[in-house]
């Protein structure tokens, strides 16, 4: 969408911009601007409002009371939960100004309105107008209008979160089935009624005119971000919530069976475990995995589903060929409670086409570190555009490679889908994913480009390693088998922890095959239910300042989430470090032909 310039204002104000109000409201405050999308999960501390994404230009800034201007969100679906936590306290921005509609952040505001009667204005002004915000110091939002100032105006009265005296009246223009209307009228209880209201509000925001049936759901809202996330789930249970489609649960924030033995503080462990229980009380399955595509219930090509969790969404769309949006936390459970989803976006074939072509250089000697690194780099290039990646036609990436690519891609981009020419199902014939007659913008990726992203993920400056963090996303059976081969007959360094996260079902398979016994003999700790984006001390050793991982996703998030610098490398390099206590710093073969880069940062 685009904004319009209405008129020039007297005084110190620049032109008045008008856009689309996603959540109505008035607010003003210091303008906090960045031209890079921000994942609120892993990027913003929900209890302080500080930007903790150490790769983001706003790192270290505080959102509280400021008008935040970002092009969009990116990364995790849990951003909606973090936004709701901020709004339940005193650390939220006073308003959010976007270049494009962001469902994840907006949904967090809508849920906070419903639960806490607290809200902020959310305004979308389009990319052209958004560029005019650069260099401005102060902003006022009034419904669809945005007024900018080059310095703080004399009559400034900064605002905070708005308290609502009553709920906004609900109405919808969508075409509803008889069953939809019954749910909206409360025929199936309060929980389903409220869920349908939220589904319809988001459907209108997304531009849908009707809803469609889904066959299954995967819930990401079971991650504990604070007391507000538990209150939301328990309120649904109190209202009699019951899922209408088969529903799996994402990783929760603790290993539910072992968190006490692991030394997790009860003040965190008890509510985090209770949150998982609340979703199971609604009828969801005890799956607790961020890789639901590894379960027997994984959807088939063309199946209409509602999945949240960014890596799972990307894998489902791209590798399985199922159809889902990148659903925000809380909208996922609302759709599970109604069985109905907005008929828009990646649910529609025409919305699954590529908008950007990525050309790769000639590459040789690829290892498993290549795919997460490439996914991270491609995500940075894409923003919210769906890419078609060319140059891997003969590489034959495994499902584990595609899992790692997708997780890193979903971390650095806002897109719900990627295509790899000759590899992913819809792009086996690349012309199928290009609109007829369209000429795609092309981005050329060089070895030097990949080296820069390698240096960005390798934030550690000391060779010593205290933790090897594996399983983000959760380990597959084939990854367990490969790791057992790497560890068999070797000795772990006594000062290095090796921790692997996985789903319960996959770990049972690994135990039956003998792989788990090999890893435990090596000294590995095997955790279920939770994943690295939710783990902190003491699982992350308190005396360790660096960690090592083969996950592009965790290499990005760890510096902000746990305050550790990161060595990123292949699985084999991780085990070498687990034995020696030192990261080798060796570049993989596929990066060695790289052209020299200016001021290289990783040695």
CA distance 249 to 287: 5
Cα–Cα nearest to 301, from 316, 284, 285, 282: 316
- Tokens 């692991």 correspond to what residue? 262
Query: Contact 93/63 with Cβ under 8 angstroms?
Result: yes
CA angle, 34 then 39 then 44, to 5°: 85
SS3 sequence of 61-112: CECCCCEEEECCECCCCCHHHHHHHHHHCCCCCCEEEECCCCHHHHHHHHHH
Cα–Cα nearest to 544, from 437, 448, 464, 483: 464
Reported as type and span, the H/E element at residue 464 is none
Q: In this structure, what token pair is assigned to residue 149?
A: 């100032």
Query: Contact 476/290 with Cβ under 8 angstroms?
Result: no
Respond yes or no: is residue 76 known to be catalytic: yes
CA distance 211 to 480: 41
CA distance 551 to 408: 7
Query: Contact 253/534 with Cβ under 8 angstroms?
Result: yes
Question: Residue 143: left (phi > 0), alpha (psi -120 to 50), or beta?
Answer: left
**DSSP-derived 3-state class of residue 525:** strand
CA distance 481 to 328: 34
**DSSP-derived 3-state class of residue 463:** coil
Beta bridge partners of 432: none
Cα–Cα nearest to 420, from 350, 472, 357: 357
Q: In this structure, what token pair is assigned to residue 44?
A: 């913003």
Query: Contact 70/56 with Cβ under 8 angstroms?
Result: no
User: How far from 112 is each of 89, 109, 117, 229, 271, CA to CA, in Å?
Assistant: 11, 5, 6, 10, 19
CA distance 296 to 310: 20
CA distance 81 to 220: 10
Provide the H-helix boundaries in 320-384: 331-338, 370-382
Q: Of 11, 21, 72, 76, which is the active-site residue?
A: 76
Pairing mode, if any, of strands 121-124 and 20-23?
A: antiparallel
Q: Would you please indicate which residues are annotated as catalytic (active-site) residues?
A: 76
């Amino acid at each position: 969408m685009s904004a319009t310039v209405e008129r020039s204002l007297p005084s110190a104000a620049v032109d008045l911009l008008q856009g689309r109000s996603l959540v109505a409201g008035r607010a003003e405050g210091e303008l906090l601007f960045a031209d890079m999308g921000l994942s609120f999960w892993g990027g913003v501390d929900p209890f302080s409002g500080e930007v903790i994404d150490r790769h983001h230009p706003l790192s270290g800034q505080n959102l509280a009371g400021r008008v935040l201007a970002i092009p969009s969100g990116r990364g995790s679906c849990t951003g909606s939960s973090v936004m709701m936590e901020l709004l339940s306290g005193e650390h939220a921005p006073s308003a959010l100004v976007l270049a494009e509609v962001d469902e994840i952040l907006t949904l967090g505001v809508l849920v906070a309105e419903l639960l806490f009667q607290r809200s902020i204005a959310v305004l979308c002004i389009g990319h052209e107008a958004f560029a005019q915000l650069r260099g401005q110091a102060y902003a006022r939002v009034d419904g669809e209008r945005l007024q900018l100032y080059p310095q703080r105006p004399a009559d400034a009265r900064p605002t905070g979160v708005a308290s609502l005296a009553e709920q906004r009246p609900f109405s919808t223009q969508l075409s509803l089935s008889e069953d939809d209307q019954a749910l909206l009228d409360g025929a199936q209880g309060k929980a389903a009624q409220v869920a349908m209201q939220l589904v319809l509000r988001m459907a209108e925001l997304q531009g849908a005119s009707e809803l469609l049936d889904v066959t299954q759901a995967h819930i990401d809202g079971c991650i504990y971000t604070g007391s507000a996330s538990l209150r939301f789930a328990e309120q649904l249970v109190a209202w009699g919530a019951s899922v209408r489609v088969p529903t799996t649960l994402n990783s929760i924030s603790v290993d539910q069976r072992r968190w006490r033995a692991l030394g997790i503080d009860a003040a965190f462990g008890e509510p985090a475990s209770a949150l998982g229980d609340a979703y199971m009380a609604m009828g969801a399955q005890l799956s607790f995995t961020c890789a639901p595509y590894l379960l027997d219930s994984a959807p088939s090509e063309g199946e209409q589903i509602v999945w949240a969790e960014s890596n799972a969404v990307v894998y489902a769309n791209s590798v399985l060929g199922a159809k889902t949006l990148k659903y925000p936390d809380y909208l996922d459970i609302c759709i599970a409670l109604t069985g109905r989803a907005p008929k828009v976006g990646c649910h529609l074939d025409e919305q699954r086409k590529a908008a950007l072509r990525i050309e790769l250089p000639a590459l040789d000697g690829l290892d498993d570190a290549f795919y997460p690194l490439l996914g991270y780099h491609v995500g940075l290039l894409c923003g919210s555009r769906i890419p078609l990646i060319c140059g891997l036609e003969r590489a034959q990436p495994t499902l584990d490679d595609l899992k790692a690519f997708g997780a890193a891609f979903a971390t650095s981009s806002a897109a719900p889908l990627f295509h790899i020419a000759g590899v992913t199902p819809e792009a086996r014939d690349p012309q199928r994913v290009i609109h007829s007659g369209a000429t795609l913008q092309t981005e050329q990726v060089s070895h030097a480009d990949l080296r820069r992203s390698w240096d960005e993920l390798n934030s550690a400056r000391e060779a010593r390693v205290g933790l090897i963090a594996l399983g983000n996303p959760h380990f597959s059976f084939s990854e367990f088998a490969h790791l057992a081969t790497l560890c068999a007959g070797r000795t772990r360094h006594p000062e290095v922890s090796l921790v692997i996260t996985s789903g319960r079902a996959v770990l049972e398979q690994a135990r039956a095959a003998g792989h788990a016994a090999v890893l435990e003999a090596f000294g590995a700790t095997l955790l279920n239910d939770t994943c690295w984006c939710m783990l902190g001390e003491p699982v992350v050793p308190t005396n360790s300042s660096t960690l090592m991982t083969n996950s592009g996703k965790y290499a990005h998030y760890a510096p902000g989430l746990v305050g550790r610098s990161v060595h990123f490398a292949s699985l084999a390099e991780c085990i070498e470090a687990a034995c020696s206590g030192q990261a080798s710093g060796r570049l993989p073969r596929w990066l060695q032909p790289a052209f020299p880069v200016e001021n290289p940062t990783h040695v």
